[in-house]
Amino acid sequence: MARSAKFSLKLLVDEKKNKVVLAEAGHDFVDVLFGLLTLPMGTIARLLENHQKLPQVLGCYKNLKQSVSDMVIDDFETEACKSMLLSPKSSKEIHCRRLKLNIDDTAATTFYVCSKLYESDSCKVYSNFYNSRCSCGSLMSYSVQVPEDAQVLELLGNAVDGVFVSCRSSFIVTNDLKVMLNSIDEIVKVVNGLGYPNLNELQEMLIDVGSEEVLSLLGNLFTSESALTSTFLMKQSMTTMLPLPPPPMFKTGTVEQGSGCHMKVFVGKLDRKILYAECSEDFIDSLLTFLVLPLESASSLSNDNTIFGCVKNLCRCGYRRQFTYNLGLPGYYTCSKKLLEIASCPSLAYECLIPHKCYSSSLLKCARWFERSLLGKGDKVVTLNPIDPKNFKSCTSMIVDKGFVKRNTKFIVSDDLLITPMNKFSTIGLLKKMQINMNDFEAQSICIYKAEVCSFYILCWY
């Protein structure tokens, strides 16, 4: 089991200052660090919450996830929309399973087909989510096996070759997670750069690193600029007060041409703090996309002075395999109004081999391609195309407005990102509960564009 593996890490420590200067690590540990960049933010929040290591700054993710849990199926476009947000999938899930240590316990991707696959051409589709709606209208609940190697475009590495790391060397990792090749001059540069003339004042420390330590390290990425010290010497997360970004400048009035969305905010007249926002499904789709963003994409939305310092150092490392620089969302997460413009990886088409007189999905085999000369008499090969699990109608119909939550619905969002559909929300109840002086607040119409969504995204961490 890849969750029980251990690494040996050699730390160079300044005991007087209780500080890690650098670590010497094998390529398999660096691979695990790069793997963290691929984890969806919702998965990170879940893993840290389960291990009671969830830093306060990730609380908004807990609220987003809670909002998805609390909403009923009818609040979403399809049943699949709820499960794809509650258990976010990463486009590098299979790669992570090849790591020596994989902290992500998300269930492996399954492929579902319609029971009428054998009969109708319109049913030659698949979905990665149980009970997605087939083109014929039936629910897709029959699972078929697709080999892991067929699910990725690039050659999969393994624990020996390196999954994300491009070089089989040993590495130096600095306290703020800059990764470089291990060499005498690099060590001298780092040590001298921190003001130590030589290694005499520094002590060597050999430690074992397992999944608990990697989870602590993951939590410290959001709270500390000294991730190694916080993880291995403090044994608890250390909160560093990092500068707040400037608040977003919201534009009032009409929406410009392009992809913006309107909302009405209830704002304090004095502190300009937004108490609640009333908005439509487009903004909610953007907010819920935060749950499925890989850590690397999430950090790319922020400027350099925010909490992602260690993450950005990891991202900048030059020893990553080329394909890992383009992390995208799995294609089925794309919504029609893209306020965030996150790259996506389109789902692949597969060939499905239907053996002669086969009427059970357990006998179906899938691959990217079958050699026709090896087929048995009466065997049939059909192409399975991906279907959008957010679709509730036939995939052939012209649906232009695609998203997670039900179209033409109003939602109310609290300052800490709790989302409630308007039809389940009592505005009178809220105003009574908050016991606020109505004269201290005013309603404003604003519109939100990509820049504001990014600012909003960063602000929700503080």
| Interacting residue ranges for Zn ion, rule: CB under 5 A | 114, 116, 123, 134, 136, 138
Least distance from C-beta 123 to Zn ion, angstroms?
Answer: 3
Minimum CB–partner distance for residue 140 and Zn ion (Å): 7
Which is closer to Zn ion, CB of 117 or CB of 163?
Answer: 117
Given CA atoms 453, 459, 460, 461 in this order, what sign does their dihedral have?
positive
Q: Whose Cβ is closer to Zn ion: residue 137's or residue 268's?
A: 137
In the complex, minimum distance from the CB of residue 114 to Zn ion, in angstroms, rounded to a whole number: 3
Q: Which residue, 140 or 342, is less far from Zn ion as judged by CB?
A: 140
- Going by C-alpha positions, the residue among 418, 374, 446, 367 that lies closest to residue 68 is 418
The values of phi and psi at residue 355, to 5°, are -60, 155
Phi/psi of residue 352, each to 5°?
Answer: -120, 125
- Closest contact distance (angstroms) between CB of 112 and Zn ion is 11
Q: CA–CA separation, 37 vs 164, rounded Å?
A: 10
Smaller CB distance to Zn ion: residue 134 or 327?
134
Q: Which of 211, 181, 240, 223 is nearest to 22 (CA)?
A: 181
Report d(CA 291, CA 287) in Å as an integer. 8
* Short-list 13, 127, 136, 142, CA closest to 80: 127
The Cα angle at residue 133 between residues 378 and 287, in degrees rounded to 5? 135
Place of tokens 């909302």: 263
User: Which residue, among 149, 137, 84, has the nearest Cα to 366 in the 3D structure?
Assistant: 149
Structure tokens at 407: 């179209």
Give per-residue burial for 339-369: e unless 16+ CB within 10 Å, then b.
Answer: bbebeebebbebebbbeeebeebeebbbbee
Least Å from the CB of residue 361 to Zn ion: 13
Nearer to Zn ion, 54 or 140 (CB): 140
CB of 393 to Zn ion, least distance (A): 13
Cβ closest to Zn ion, residue 136 vs residue 207: 136
Closest contact distance (angstroms) between CB of 395 and Zn ion is 10
- Smallest distance, Å, CB 117 to Zn ion? 7
| Collapsed DSSP state (helix, strand, coil) of residue 284 | helix
State how far the Cα of 374 lies from the Cα of 306, in Å rounded to an integer. 57
Nearer to Zn ion, 57 or 136 (CB): 136
Cα→Cα distances 337→31, 260, 399, Å: 35, 8, 13
Q: Is 72 helix (H, G, I), strand (E, B) or coil?
A: coil
Q: Which is nearer to Zn ion, 134 or 165 (CB)?
A: 134
Structure tokens at 223: 């709270």
| Nearer Cβ to Zn ion (19/116) | 116
Alpha helices, H only, 195-270? 211-220, 227-229
Name the minimum Å distance from CB 385 to Zn ion: 12
